Amino acid sequence: MLNSNRIPILYTSILYLCGFFLFLEWLYPLQIISDKSNVTVFIMYAALCFAISVFRLPWWASFLLKGFGVVMILHALFLTEKLFSKLWFNEVSVELVFNIQAIFSNQMGEITSFFRTLLFLLIIWVMSYLVHYWFVVMKRIFVFLFFTFLYLALLDTFTMYEGFVPIVRTFIISFIALGVAHYFKEIDREKIDFPWFGKLKVWLVPIIGMTFLASAIGIITPSFAPQWPDPVPFFKSATNFGNDGDGQGTRRVGYGSNDSNLGGSFQQDYTPVFQATTANRQYWRVETKDVYTGKGWERSADLAYEEQANGEINLDFYAGSVQTEEETAYVRFNGNNTMNNLVYPYGMKGVQAIEGVVFSRDPNANMVRAQIRDETVQLQEYSMTFDEPVYSLEALRAVTAGNDPENIMENYTRVPDTLPDRVRELAEEITAGTDNRYDQAKAVEQYFNQNGFEYVIEDVPYPEEDQDYVDQFLFETQIGYCDNYSTSMVVMLRTLDIPARWAKGFTGGEEQRVNDDGMRDFEVTNANAHSWVEVYFPNEGWVPFEPTQGFDNPSTFRNTNLDQPEVDLPETDDTEVETPEPEEDEMMPPEMEDLGPTNEAGEEEEVEPNRTGLYVTIGVIFLLILAFIIYKTRFRWKTIWVYRKWMRDPTEKTFTESYLFLLTLLGHYTLARRPEQTLREYAEQIDERYHTKNMSLLNQIYEQILYNNEGNDLQTKEFIPIWKELVDQMRKE
């Protein structure tokens, strides 16, 4: 027969394994809802913390092992000097001092990845203890289960994290944990010895079997449709909170990085993102993407930033006959800047910011990033010099097929093999009769101003699983926003072997004022997030085109023969085509989390999901957890207070207070006294339960003080160990 002392070890091991898997459900979403693309290192550290707790090492050994794990992870990820060398300690101290100063100066955007990782590892450390406290010490695991379900439900509702499978997984683990916890609690309470390993299947298999059966029934059984109106849109509106996931619901427009699944409706968001000061309205570029998948856009290569010297940015905008005029621009972000990349106008060639900033660019995605000591920072303000272009129509119309560099043709004419043939056939029909690249691009651009296309932001469908995004827009729905128009134009040009790419950023925003020096201030909001088209012209560079209804290309095209700018009108017969203007509250949504449009100037835009609601929600959950822990452990803290007070003042008065508090503890943890029971009967019942005479002895002293008025000068310090022994026995239950 197995000794009953082994019960706690088995109890701890099984429950801790369940607790560990439940805690992992808090880590998995991080790679979706945050910038942590790989959470493996955090999972490994969590496993270390839980393993240390299972083996019940002394506190000092646990502290050293967990602390050493933190040091090794930080060293492997961020530090370059030899471990524990003088230079290593200097490197660590520099990181800590810099980040602490950034916190106290309220420069949260400058906190480095080293410090963020350190804080997150410490949170995992603390959570491993809290799970130990909930599961083993208090034997109250329900509260952790509740907050895990709440956490997953909130993420599933308000972010792109898909919570169905995690919630089912959590349900299964939770019921196994609850069943095991209850079983061991009863065995321990009744003091039953049990051949655990020989009879493992007798109690564990039914628990697991019933849990999986209940889960299967819940998944398979049909469910009623919702009976109440959906409250989520109200909460999203109230918290300025959008869903940038892959779901099929309505999202808030804003700039985002996930463009892999385009489509769906969105709500406009006019939250200011930044203010810009320029001489003329500009499109604010952020990045380009080159691989169309049939559902959205991806990059053909991982980001590889190249450092730029002295703030000079080489993006290879123009070549050949493109005339330019040097201009300046100044950008100021609003408060909580969450963009890691710079927004910049066409022709940017130099950036000036705070001292110590180094700029890097990715040549494939055309993204520019600011760094301090190899750590990406989010600048609140910076100024730029740029060459504003004036394109020559004569030079653009001189471009025909056959002169493009091989790498340009390879990267920017690819379309999926699954693209329906009718997309190529439509592109050939639209461009029939044209003999140069510019006229072909203009023909496709102007095609969307006719032929029944509508700019809308509501009731925009996602493509079906076997349906192409562009094909759906061109031939079935003919409704959508900037993503639909720009993606369709790029794909149609590519079917004609014309190099084109998908660009995204912000339109010019709303003009606020004209300054004394002639510069104009513009406010750019989330509603200005936008996508457009860039077409490659040999010896000219990448030229922007704007196919979306209601939006105007900000670039200047000049006919050198007439020395007059070209007016972009639909190239039709005598039929005047009216370009519909987007409604005031309409603009475009993000692809899976991105775009949206317009302002008074008819401009569309993409918006980055506002995470304020998420932060508030997490903060509220944390405070609720903290308040619940304090409430649930109130007896523990009061026990300590009563014990210390009695030690300081071992008089009759403190004895009486301690005895009455002991009765409260017994009623809470063990067995409440029945109304008809005398204190003596109750004391005997408690002694029988714990196989002692301690409660009867304490009760005898209490009765002497209460009824006989004996021992007015009685010193009660000798009874403190008896009282404490009873309290310890209660906690072991």
Domain boundary among 351, 370, 390: 390
Report if residue 252 sits inside a domain.
no
**Are 702 and 655 spatial neighbours (Cβ–Cβ below 8 Å)?**
yes
pLDDT score, position 308:
83
DSSP 718: G
How does residue 485 score in pLDDT terms, banded at 50, 70 and 90? very high
Report if residue 291 sits inside a domain.
no
Report if residue 247 sits inside a domain.
no
Which is more confidently placed, 141 or 529? 529
pLDDT score, position 374:
77
Arithmetic mean of pLDDT, 405-421:
91
Q: What is the mean pLDDT of the chain?
A: 78
Whether residues 673 and 690 fall in one domain: yes
Report if residue 496 sits inside a domain.
yes
Domain boundary among 190, 222, 254: 222
- List the domain range (segments joined by +) for residue 371: 300-390
Which two structure tokens, joined as six digits, stand for 297? 């856009």
Report if residue 38 sits inside a domain.
yes
Q: What percent of the chain has pLDDT over 90?
A: 18
Which is more confidently placed, 270 or 528? 528
Whether residues 15 and 30 fall in one domain: yes
Number of domains in the chain: 4
Whether residues 663 and 581 fall in one domain: no
pLDDT score, position 601:
44
User: Above 80 in pLDDT, residue 534?
Assistant: yes
Whether residues 274 and 318 fall in one domain: no
pLDDT score, position 679:
84
Whether residues 273 and 320 fall in one domain: no
End-to-end CA distance of the chain: 22
CATH of residue 537: 3.10.620.30
Full DSSP string of 168-196: HHHHHHHHHHHHHHHHHHHHHHTT----T
Residue among 116, 650, 144, 628 at smallest CA distance from 378 = 116
Strand-pair partners of 332: 275, 381
Report if residue 457 sits inside a domain.
yes
- The string of pLDDT tens digits covering residues 359-407 is 888 888 888 988 887 788 888 889 999 988 888 888 888 888 778 888 8
**Are 311 and 248 spatial neighbours (Cβ–Cβ below 8 Å)?**
no
Whether residues 601 and 510 fall in one domain: yes
Whether residues 383 and 448 fall in one domain: no
Report if residue 150 sits inside a domain.
yes
pLDDT score, position 599:
45
Which is more confidently placed, 428 or 378? 428
- The string of pLDDT tens digits covering residues 672-689 is 788 778 888 888 888 888
Whether residues 470 and 565 fall in one domain: yes
pLDDT score, position 113:
80
Output b/e per residue, 362-374; b: 16+ Cβ within 10 A: bebbbbbbbebee
**Are 704 and 719 spatial neighbours (Cβ–Cβ below 8 Å)?**
no
Choose the most confident range, by mean pLDDT, from 9-13, 159-163, 616-620.
159-163
- Look up the pTM and report it: 0.50
Whether residues 439 and 554 fall in one domain: yes
User: Above 90 in pLDDT, residue 429?
Assistant: yes
- The string of pLDDT tens digits covering residues 447-479 is 998 888 998 888 888 888 889 999 999 999 999
Whether residues 127 and 148 fall in one domain: yes
pLDDT score, position 475:
93
User: Above 50 in pLDDT, residue 344?
Assistant: yes
Which two structure tokens, joined as six digits, stand for 75? 């060293």
**Are 604 and 587 spatial neighbours (Cβ–Cβ below 8 Å)?**
yes
pLDDT score, position 200:
53
How does residue 283 score in pLDDT terms, banded at 50, 70 and 90? very high
pLDDT score, position 522:
93
Whether residues 574 and 686 fall in one domain: no
Report if residue 591 sits inside a domain.
yes
Arithmetic mean of pLDDT, 536-547:
89
Whether residues 384 and 457 fall in one domain: no
**Are 426 and 492 spatial neighbours (Cβ–Cβ below 8 Å)?**
yes
Which is more confidently placed, 316 or 295? 295
Domain boundary among 390, 415, 435: 390
